[in-house]
Homo-oligomer: A and B are copies of this chain.
Amino acid sequence: MKRTKKERQQLLTETIADNPFVTDEQLAHQFGVSVQTIRLDRMELSIPELRERIKDVASKNYENEVKSLPLDEVIGEIIDIELDKRALSIFDVGEEHVFQRNNIARGHHLFAQANSLAVAVIDDELALTVKSNVAFVKPVKAGDRVVTKAIVRTQHTEKNRTIIDVTSTVNNEVVFTGEFEMYRTKGGNET
């Protein structure tokens, strides 16, 4: 069933609002049209290109915000962060991140993105991973853009400990989940 242009443009607007990090290629694939058509749609709808959308979100100076490690030690790019609450990063999977044989991303790269986001979200000078429990839900391929969310659990935990739930998606499909128990010097969730 082919959509009308109006239907497509409405769906396009909603899709980009849901996930600002979707690429034109992904949109073209999703709607069964050419990349050129998506570009024209965006121009008509005044939706900036992906690079601009990312710059928009990333314009805040996270360097002064993240306490637990220098920003260049984060694997992936932090897009949003609220210390001790939540954080969001994106990571573009390249050929160097996959197994040669099957083009599937190696687990430790997904782990690294999730783990470094769990470190970054901690509002402390020191944050170390104590334990983690991860599931590789769906294979990730070269060219995929992994969007990772870290949510700090608010319920009571041990002193100097914080639990963080991490979920990574590609095109809004969950590919990885993780639970990270972090050591910190100050506080934790018991306050």
Q: A interface vs B, CB < 8 Å?
A: 69-70, 73, 75, 99-102, 104, 106-109, 111-112, 115-116, 125-126, 128-136, 139
A128 engages B132 (CB within 8 Å): no
| Known contacts A128-B136, A131-B134, A132-B133; 20 further A-B pairs (Cβ under 8 A) | A69-B100, A70-B100, A70-B101, A73-B106, A75-B108, A102-B126, A104-B128, A106-B112, A106-B115, A107-B115, A107-B129, A107-B132, A108-B115, A108-B116, A111-B111, A128-B139, A129-B136, A130-B135, A130-B136, A131-B136
Taking A136-B130, A139-B128 as contacts, is the C-beta distance between A73 and B100 under 8 angstroms? Answer: yes
B139 engages A131 (CB within 8 Å): no
B-side contacts of A69, CB under 8 Å: 99-101
Copies in the complex: 2
B-side contacts of A129, CB under 8 Å: 107, 136
Most-contacted residue by chain B among A108, A128, A133 (CB, 10 A) = A108
- Complex CA distance for A168 and B107, rounded to whole angstroms: 18
Shortest distance in angstroms between A134's beta carbon and chain B's nearest beta carbon?
5
- Complex CA distance for A75 and B107, rounded to whole angstroms: 12
Which of B112, B126, B130 has a CB less than 8 Å from the CB of A108?
B112
